[in-house]
Amino acid sequence: MERSRWLLPLLLMLCLGLGYTVLSMPEPVEGLPEMLVDNMEVAGVSNPVTAVLLNFRGYDTLLEMGVLLVALLGVWSLGGIPDYRESSPGLVLDIMSRQLVPVLILVAGYLLWVGADAPGGAFQAGSLLGAAGVLLLLCGWRIGNRCSGLPLRFLLILGLGMFVVAGTGLLLIGGEFLQYPSPVARELILMIEAAATLSIGATLAAMFLGSLPGGADK
């Protein structure tokens, strides 16, 4: 094993080098945080992380919704993964999921609403919705054929679509792309966040299922 003899010393050297780099990294001279604090009153929300995610660096979040969508398309296009073995979820899981899913949806709504001023926001709420979806899928629930076509796809692209529509609308009324006018910034951010939450939840649950829903129902 010629390779394994050199692996450990090389990795140790990498560890030492990275550690030294991290420890000797200089303090930033011009602080991005100060710039952010100065601009917080035009952001529309008072939680700085939400302001960065949805307002100052909205492009990142827009593209991230795209990444989620592309990942889901990748999962679907690989297709043909067998569904889980049929097994009854058992009484405890069945009853508990009925109690838990509404609570999870409620908490997701709360996190979304409170994200403007306190820790929380679209991603956290969306992943909670995704967790609720996973719980439902584990209990044997499958999306009906009626909803698995267009309505599901609409839900999946809602986040990205809302972002693009809001940005384009702002362009049309004479602003910049994704640069919200200060008076309506809060409402716009909340609208985009709500759409993104639904999309993230649906995307994560669909990824858990793994195959294109609808075909498996028959």
Partner 1 sequence: MEALTILNWVLDGLLGVSLFSLAWLALASPDIFKAIVLFISFGLLMALAWVRLNAPDVALAEAAIGAGLTGALLLAAFARLEDISIGASDGEEVQSHIQHDSNEEPK
Partner 2 sequence: MSYVYLYALLGVSLFVLGLNALIVHAHLLRKILAVNVMSTGVFLVLVALSSRNEEVLPDPVPHAMVITGIVVSVSATALALILMLKVNRATGKNELPDRGRD
Q: Hey, how many other C-beta atoms are within 10 angstroms of the C-beta on 197?
A: 27
* Of the residues 5, 85, 146, 218, which one makes contact with partner 1 according to CB under 8 A: 85
Vertex 111, ends 107 and 117: CA angle to 5°?
150
CA-CA distance, 110 to 103, in Å (whole number)?
Answer: 10
Choice between 23 and 173, CB closer to partner 2 = 23
At 155, list the tokens: 């839900």
User: Which of partner 2, partner 1, none is residue 93 near (CB under 5 to 8 Å by kind)?
Assistant: none
Do 201 and 130 touch, CB atoms closer than 8 A? Answer: yes
* Of the residues 120, 159, 167, 213, which one makes contact with partner 1 according to CB under 8 A: 120
CA-CA distance, 147 to 217, in Å (whole number)?
Answer: 12
User: Which of partner 1, partner 2, none is residue 138 near (CB under 5 to 8 Å by kind)?
Assistant: partner 1
Do 203 and 73 touch, CB atoms closer than 8 A? Answer: no
Restricted to residues 128-167, the positions that interact with partner 1 (CB under 8 A) are 128, 130-131, 134, 138
Q: For the CA atoms of the chain, what is the radius of gyration? A: 22
Q: Tell me the residue type at 103.
A: V
The binding site for partner 2 (CB under 8 A) comprises: 4, 7-8, 11, 14-15, 18-19, 22-23, 25, 27, 31-33, 36-37, 48-49, 51-53, 57, 60-61, 64, 67-68, 71-72, 74-75, 78, 81, 121, 123, 126-127, 200, 203-204, 207-208, 210
Choice between 19 and 149, CB closer to partner 1 = 19
Q: Which stretch binds partner 1 (CB under 8 A): 31-39, 43-51, 88-96, 182-190?
A: 43-51
Choice between 12 and 95, CB closer to partner 2 = 12
CA-CA distance, 70 to 62, in Å (whole number)?
Answer: 13
Angle between helices 122-138 and 185-209 (to 10 degrees): 30
x/- map, 171-210, partner 1, by CB under 8 A: ---------------------------------x--xx-x
Choice between 119 and 215, CB closer to partner 1 = 119
Can residue 81 be called a binding residue for partner 1 (CB under 8 A)? yes
Name, in order, each residue with C-beta under 8 angstroms of 186's C-beta and a sequence gap of 6 or more.
44, 45, 116
CA-CA distance, 148 to 137, in Å (whole number)?
Answer: 14
Which residues sit at the interface with partner 1, rule CB under 8 A? Answer: 47, 49-50, 81-82, 84-85, 111, 119-121, 123-124, 127-128, 130-131, 134, 138, 204, 207-208, 210
